[in-house]
Structure 1
Amino acid sequence: MKTARMNRLFGVSGNCFDVAIDHGMFNEKTFLGGIEDMHRAIRIVADARPDAIQLPPGTAPILQAIKGKDRPALVLRTDIANVYGTPLPRTLFSEVVDRPVEQGVVLDAACVVVNLLQLPDQPEIHHACVRNVNALKRECEIMGMPLMVEPLVMQDNSKGGYMVNGDIGQILPLVRQAVELGADIIKADPCDDVQEYHRVIEVAQGIPVLVRGGGKVSDREILVRTAELMKQGARGIVYGRNVIHNANPTAITRALMAVVHEGAAADAATKYLG
């Protein structure tokens, strides 16, 4: 069953575009822009037909209630953390929901995803994430469920809250740790120089790498960056804010699908933007 679920994600082209709409899980007011009405947000993205939509247990049924065989696959967010605000809370946590893989099976998910967080001077949160990954791995094997691990290197929150660190020197070992812990799919940070991203692909040892979108940027920038990342060997992307905060989520999804699945250059993909 794991192979069947992987095929639902990666399809005929062997690549995947997963749109993340799981931001409400993390109890941050600023994360809710564009997704206050989840029924509307999910419908808009689903109509653009990305390969998958990433959702937590509470809103995943909205996607799965859409009729027809062409709805995107579900990637189920299984963990919750309190590491994104400024200042950081006095006590940090990262823990998975109850029986996460069982919930994934019930919700007909194609994959479950869990964080592997690395914050400056916060080793206890990394330790919690390692425990989470370990707990999910065996259950995923028993249930035939692919495990997506999200190694996320973050900057000091005092610099402005949720900010990824594009230092490839820190990304590489965390990606490799995710692989060694048993990830079937890696959802990794972009690095500062995207032309170095082949090093991330190499350290992943053949495990498919989907690249996170990071902060909101212009349509042109996200298309150019995505095209280069695909050239570097990425198997796809997981973008959230660059889709749901876009003035036209349908158009940018279709443009990115052309880059991911057809190998379109950024200039060619802009035709979908109108």
Structure 2
Amino acid sequence: MSSKKIRLNRIFANGTIAIMPIDHGVTMGMLRGIDNYMELIQNMLFTGLDGIVAHKGIVQKLLNLDGVERLNIFQHLSASTNFYEPNYKVIVSTVEEALRNGIDQVSIHLNLNVPQEREMMRDFADIAESCERWGVPLMAMIYVQNHILDVQTLRHAMRVAEELGADLVKIPMPEQTEFLENLIGHVNIPVLVAGGECSKDQKDFLTQIDRATSCGASGIAVGRNIFERENPQAFARIVTKLVHRTIDLQQACEMAMELK
């Protein structure tokens, strides 16, 4: 068994996974919930959350937390800011740097249908080659900008991620979640569904998550829909239980109602 396969098995030890990205600070600034990221992650350690995504500066600090080894930390390698060309992601870290930090998996963001698509695809290929060399799983966060997210578009994006060397792919939640039934299974890598902006309707959000995993998604990558809540720790516990199938949708909604 290859070192990459061993690491992937560790990530998916629970079958389906719930990951919380907290890499938003570079792009969007000081969002509610990640202003004190050390406290946030400390509170997440016993929620059942499977992993987080963070940039290298935060990763290096989080490694000082007792119990952080419970989480699969993905070091995020690409970035941009909302100040200038936010859709153009540049490489700001390396696979080798992640390994020096003790991190076993990395992620990269690729935007398609933008002027810099070719440059980002070239960067993606270079990162994928490094991941293959070192046996490090690569998660691709792939988005098609300024385009309707229909089935064919998302299938194409997922195929790009797989063919360029991703080991798992994160896609945006389709506006019509029934699309997922026609998406999952068209690639041979695990598919994670993103949470997007924080939804005011907890029941609707939990329903989307439940439908995604029921359609075969291997898990979720949800940031703002967890850390921007009034009680992110409790909501993360509900979401992870739902993803891991230890509670059903009705139980999850009832538990969420009690948080209000």
TM-score by length of 1: 0.85
- Structure 2: distance between partners of 1:64 and 1:71: 11
Match of 1:148 in 2: 139
- Structure 2: distance between partners of 1:16 and 1:92: 27
Contact 2:48 2:241 in 1 (8 A): no
Contact 1:20 1:53 in 2 (8 A): yes
- Structure-to-structure mapping, 1:226-265, within 5 angstroms: 226-262=209-245, 264-265=247-248
Contact 2:62 2:68 in 1 (8 A): no
* Deviation for aligned residue 1:203: 2.2
Match of 1:212 in 2: 194
Match of 2:56 in 1: 57
Provide the identity percentage: 26
- Structure 1: distance between partners of 2:182 and 2:17: 20
Match of 2:125 in 1: 134
Equivalent residue pairs, number: 254
Change beyond 3 A, Cα 1:225–1:103: same
Three-state SS of the structure 1 residue aligned to 2:189 is coil
Three-state SS of the structure 1 residue aligned to 2:184 is helix
Segments of 5+ residues of structure 2 without an aligned counterpart are: none
Contact 2:51 2:72 in 1 (8 A): yes
Pair 1:111-2:93 in alignment:
no
* Deviation for aligned residue 1:78: 0.5
- Structure 2: distance between partners of 1:154 and 1:94: 13
Match of 1:179 in 2: 162
Match of 2:6 in 1: 4
Output the amino acid matched with 2:118. Answer: H
- Structure 2: distance between partners of 1:73 and 1:93: 27
Match of 2:20 in 1: 19
- Structure 1: distance between partners of 2:197 and 2:98: 28
TM-score by length of 2: 0.89
- Structure 2: distance between partners of 1:234 and 1:173: 17
Contact 1:254 1:272 in 2 (8 A): no
- Structure 1: distance between partners of 2:206 and 2:88: 35
- Structure 2: distance between partners of 1:207 and 1:181: 12
Contact 2:88 2:111 in 1 (8 A): no
Contact 1:227 1:264 in 2 (8 A): no
Three-state SS of the structure 1 residue aligned to 2:35 is coil
* Deviation for aligned residue 1:264: 3.3
Three-state SS of the structure 1 residue aligned to 2:193 is strand
Segments of 5+ residues of structure 1 without an aligned counterpart are: 157-164
* Deviation for aligned residue 1:263: 5.8
Match of 1:162 in 2: none
- Structure-to-structure mapping, 1:188-207, within 5 angstroms: 188-204=171-187, 206-207=188-189
* Deviation for aligned residue 1:73: 1.3
Match of 1:94 among 76, 89, 98: 89
Output the amino acid matched with 2:47. Answer: A
